[in-house]
């Protein structure tokens, strides 16, 4: 593997980072042909905690359409994601940071944040005392599947709206 100097960061992706990319890629490679579409690339980036702007997605898809026949293989995907993983650029929160934050909120570690856990975390982490109504409203807004709690995927979406 060649080491890349990207935005002043000179290191290779760690094996676990490559593995994380491989798992995410496989998730979106529905027909298992080793290629994903432009559209899937945006969704894939979001599930990894990257929140590309519409403009970035347009640029990416133009590059992909011109250079790669409208589809991305795993190597191209790693090349696109490496700079993002190596240098968490402004406005983008990495998956690791999101997971760590989620753990802070999810006090009992069951993979879901309840209104009670959210209230405690807001008080503990931010010194903010929120009313039950405010907390309920935050959970309701983030809770896409309507189960009354916020799971990791919903948490990622909630954080990306900030």
Q: Locate the domains of the chain by residue range.
A: 5-86, 95-160
**Rounded Cα–Cα distance for residues 124 and 141 (Å):** 22
Could you tell me what percent of the chain has a pLDDT over 70?
82
The residue-averaged pLDDT of 83-91 equals 56
Rounded mean pLDDT, 39-61:
82
Q: Is residue 45 pLDDT above 60, yes or no?
A: yes
Q: Do domains 5-86 and 95-160 have the same CATH topology?
A: yes
Q: Which residues on adjacent β-strands are paired with residue 25?
A: none
Q: Is the pLDDT of residue 37 over 90?
A: no
pLDDT class of 4 with cuts at 50, 70, 90: very low
23 token code pair: 């798992």
The pLDDT-based confidence of 89 (bands split at 50, 70, 90) is: very low
Q: What number of H helices and E strands is found in the chain? A: 8, 6
For helices 74-86 and 15-28, what crossing angle results, to 10°? 130
Q: Is the alpha carbon torsion for 142, 84, 126, 100 positive or negative? A: positive
What is the pTM assigned to this prediction? 0.46
Among all chains, which residue has been given the structure tokens 């899937």? 40
What is the per-residue pLDDT for 49? 76
**Could you read off the pLDDT of 97-156 as tens digits, one per residue?**
788 888 989 999 999 999 999 999 888 877 878 888 999 998 999 998 999 999 988 887
User: Given this structure, which CATH class describes domain 95-160?
Assistant: mainly alpha
- CB count in 10 Å sphere of residue 50: 22
Provide the pLDDT confidence category of residue 43 given band limits of 50, 70 and 90: confident
The CATH number of the domain covering residues in 5-86: 1.10.238.10
Q: With beta carbons less than 8 A apart as the criterion, state whether 154 and 114 touch.
A: no
């Amino acid at each position: 593997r060649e080491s890349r100097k990207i935005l002043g960061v000179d290191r290779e992706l760690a094996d676990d980072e490559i593995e994380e990319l491989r798992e995410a890629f496989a998730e979106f490679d529905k027909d298992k042909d080793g290629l994903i579409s432009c559209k899937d690339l945006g969704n894939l980036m979001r599930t990894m905690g990257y929140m590309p702007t519409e403009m970035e997605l347009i640029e990416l898809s133009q590059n992909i359409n011109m250079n790669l026949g409208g589809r991305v293989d795993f190597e191209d995907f790693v090349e696109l994601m490496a700079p993002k993983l190596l240098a968490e650029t402004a406005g983008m929160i990495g998956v690791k940071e999101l997971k760590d934050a989620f753990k802070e909120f999810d006090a009992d570690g069951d993979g879901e944040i309840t209104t009670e856990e959210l209230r405690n975390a807001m008080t503990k982490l931010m010194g903010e005392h929120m009313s039950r109504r405010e907390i309920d409203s935050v959970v309701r807004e983030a809770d896409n599947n309507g189960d009354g709690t916020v799971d990791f995927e919903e948490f990622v979406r909630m954080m990306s709206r900030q």
